[in-house]
A and B are shown apart, each in its own frame.
Chain A
Amino acid sequence: DTGVSQDPRHKITKRGQNVTFRCDPISEHNRLYWYRQTLGQGPEFLTYFQNEAQLEKSRLLSDRFSAERPKGSFSTLEIQRTEQGDSAMYLCASSSRSGQGYTGELFFGEGSRLTVL
């Protein structure tokens, strides 16, 4: 296991197009997070999954954003009708279950950079 992987690493699209990002977490991690990071800012929380259940969504996540985690494994983040303001780095992170062995550490992927022209 090489850690959290994200695909694609870079995406350039025209305004109005749909884009989808994929995240493969560390295999034994049941918690998965999506964050967005823009220039000069820290990661901003978008959404959280515990197994396949989406337990929390940020108000930043408009109706154009949807995330899924079928079967509690990989996750996808789709942005419909992209706008220039969606240009950002989209980060995925995973962590282990609570209880024994819980550390609270988030393991991040390298991110998917979106540029909307």
Chain B
Amino acid sequence: AQRVTQPEKLLSVFKGAPVELKCNYSYSGSPELFWYVQYSRQRLQLLLRHISRESIKGFTADLNKGETSFHLKKPFAQEEDSAMYYCALGPGTYKYIFGTGTRLKVLA
């Protein structure tokens, strides 16, 4: 069965500290993985996709098929990074599966 696990509901870090948001997935095929972000009072939006291997707003994520992980990392957190972050797997048989999300709080 397809499943996405985000073990942390809340992650608090100080400004300038490194950030790692964890995501593990379960999928028998070749996965497509995404990170979505929701800033306060805004709609859910794509942050990055594993296939593009790009860095967005300083964030990167590497797909590790051996560990079935797709952790999101940023070397130096900024206050504007505070948001809800969702890891998503898809589309598989059309649908995208989302994790329960991690709230990132960057403290001044």
CB pair A56 B43 closer than 8 Å: no
> Is B70 close to A, CB under 8 A?
no
Interface residues of A in 1-46 (CB under 8 A from B): 3, 31, 33, 35, 40-45
CB pair A55 B94 closer than 8 Å: yes
Distance from A66 Cβ to chain B, minimum over Cβ atoms (Å) = 18
* Given A104-B49, A108-B43, A110-B43, A40-B9 contact (CB < 8 Å): yes
CB pair B96 A41 closer than 8 Å: no
Please indicate the chain B residues that have their CB under 8 angstroms from the CB of A91 in the complex: 44
User: In the bound complex, how far is the Cα of B97 from the Cα of A91, in angstroms?
Assistant: 14
CB pair A103 B94 closer than 8 Å: no
Interface residues of B in 1-45 (CB under 8 A from A): 4, 6, 9, 32, 34, 36, 43-45
- Chain B residues within 8 Å of chain A by Cβ, number: 25
> Is B69 close to A, CB under 8 A?
no
Query: Nearest B residue to A50 by beta-carbon distance?
Result: B94
User: In the bound complex, how far is the Cα of B91 from the Cα of A31, in angstroms?
Assistant: 11
Please indicate the chain A residues that have their CB under 8 angstroms from the CB of B51 in the complex: 104
CB pair A104 B34 closer than 8 Å: yes
Please indicate the chain A residues that have their CB under 8 angstroms from the CB of B49 in the complex: 103-105
Query: Nearest B residue to A57 by beta-carbon distance?
Result: B95
Contact indicator per residue, chain A 82-117, by CB within 8 Å of chain B (1) or not (0): 000000000101000000000111101111000000
- Chain B CB within 10 Å, residue with most, of A42, A56, A108: A42
Distance from A70 Cβ to chain B, minimum over Cβ atoms (Å) = 20
Please indicate the chain A residues that have their CB under 8 angstroms from the CB of B64 in the complex: none
- Chain B CB within 10 Å, residue with most, of A35, A50, A108, A109: A108
